[in-house]
Chains A and B, each alone.
Chain A
Amino acid sequence: MKIIVLYTMLFVCSIIFGSSFVFAQENSSMTVEVDLIDFNGTSNASDISIEVPDYIDLGQVSKNDPVSNEPNLYINNTGKINISVTPVLKDPEEGIFKWLFFRTQKSDKEGIYNISEKIGDFSFSIDKPSTGNSKKTKNVYIHLNLTDFNGVINEDVNDYRSQVIFFAIPG
């Protein structure tokens, strides 16, 4: 009885062992895949192209603490040439978000100071993506500073929103 079980096990093992060779043989022509792009000199990218996040939350500001958080935005140059980027308020009459400030770095670096500039005065450049890359990213810090705000806010407002458009033109 034991012999029968042993032979059965050997038979099953031999089938499994043998089938591994069969599968290896079947898989001997491994599929290799690669994307070949830009060989004819015509890339799909536009000359001027930009990618901007849809939403940014600046947290909370109050009369005693009129400066918001300063999150960073990742703006991508997805085009073919250097660009100049300028944030603009969609509604130029907007009273609160005209106190938006931007800077490209939080500390002094390489002779460039970390001064924030008000929306309307601020613009920055992003170099074209390096060869083989589809995008070049630049970090921009944004915050709201209502220290010099003279308007009246009668009651607490949650989720106050406005639209900022980042315009890219040739640099």
Chain B
Amino acid sequence: MKMSMTIGRRSYSLQFLVDSKHVFLLIFIISISSCSALQIGISPAKINLSGFVGEDICSSVEIKSDYYGNLNGDIRFGKNMNIENNINNFNIEPEKIGIRVEYPKTLRIEKDTRDIKICLNSDREIETKGVLLYYPDEGYAGVGSLIFATIRENILKKQVITGLFIMQGFLIGDLLIILVVGRKLKKFSE
């Protein structure tokens, strides 16, 4: 008798759970537990790449994620240094402004941290701001570091080369003068 009463109470409790708002709570809890989120990070936030025309200018970057798969990399530049930090302002491909960039365009990450190297090179003077972006193949979050690129002519190197050319010119001139003067002296002595 007691046993059957207990079963009855139990079934009543279950009925109460099914009939009441508790079922919505149950669905809500299940929904929360089935929802997942992707986390991805990049360091440093700002990459300063300053150097001379024609030289490789490099820096290290750390990528970190709880994602298991491939990350895609992308680099875009803005019109100048003063643009606002909004990803929509960075839409110029590096090649279009004469910048050659080397970096991993795809990166395998297995819920861990990866160190990568980014290098810029240009044949002309440039001062601009860009972003280095990484985002997963199948994911909904991406991160980017700001790139501050300042590439200048190496004036000292240019001056040394110019000086060497001038000196070379003087030497050739001197040799010619010595030759001419020598011949004249030879003729005069004869």
A residues lining the B interface (CB < 8 Å): 45-55, 76, 78-81, 84, 86, 88, 120-121, 123, 163-171
B152 contacts the other chain (Cβ, under 8 Å)? no
Q: What distance in Å separates the Cβ of A14 from its nearest Cβ neighbour in chain B?
A: 35
Q: Which residues of the other chain, A, contact B37 by a CB distance below 8 angstroms?
A: 51-54, 76
Assembled-state Cα–Cα distance A48/B85 (Å): 13
Assembled-state Cα–Cα distance A68/B8 (Å): 45
Pair A166/B142 contact, Cβ less than 8 Å:
yes
Pair B36/A49 contact, Cβ less than 8 Å:
no
Interface size on B, residues (CB 8 A): 30
Q: What distance in Å separates the Cβ of B172 from its nearest Cβ neighbour in chain A?
A: 56
Chain A, Cβ-Cβ closest to B44: A47
**Residue from the set A46, A80, A166 with the largest chain B CB neighbour count within 10 Å:** A46
Pair A51/B38 contact, Cβ less than 8 Å:
yes
Pair B140/A169 contact, Cβ less than 8 Å:
no
Pair A169/B40 contact, Cβ less than 8 Å:
no
Pair B45/A170 contact, Cβ less than 8 Å:
yes
B62 contacts the other chain (Cβ, under 8 Å)? yes
Q: What distance in Å separates the Cβ of B72 from its nearest Cβ neighbour in chain A?
A: 10
Assembled-state Cα–Cα distance A52/B136 (Å): 12
Q: A48 and B144 in contact (CB under 8 A), knowing A54-B36, A78-B41?
A: yes
Q: Which residues of the other chain, B, contact A76 by a CB distance below 8 angstroms?
A: 37, 39
Pair B41/A46 contact, Cβ less than 8 Å:
yes
3 interchain residue pairs of minimum CB distance: A46-B41, A49-B41, A47-B45
**Residue from the set A49, A79, A120, A171 with the largest chain B CB neighbour count within 10 Å:** A49
Pair B144/A168 contact, Cβ less than 8 Å:
yes
Q: What distance in Å separates the Cβ of A85 from its nearest Cβ neighbour in chain B?
A: 9
B87 contacts the other chain (Cβ, under 8 Å)? yes
19 pairs from A and B in contact (CB 8 Å cutoff): A48-B45, A49-B39, A49-B143, A50-B41, A50-B141, A51-B38, A52-B38, A53-B35, A54-B38, A54-B140, A76-B37, A84-B85, A123-B86, A165-B135, A167-B133, A167-B141, A167-B143, A170-B46, A170-B85
Q: A46 and B85 in contact (CB under 8 A), knowing A51-B38, A51-B39, A78-B41?
A: no
Pair B45/A49 contact, Cβ less than 8 Å:
no
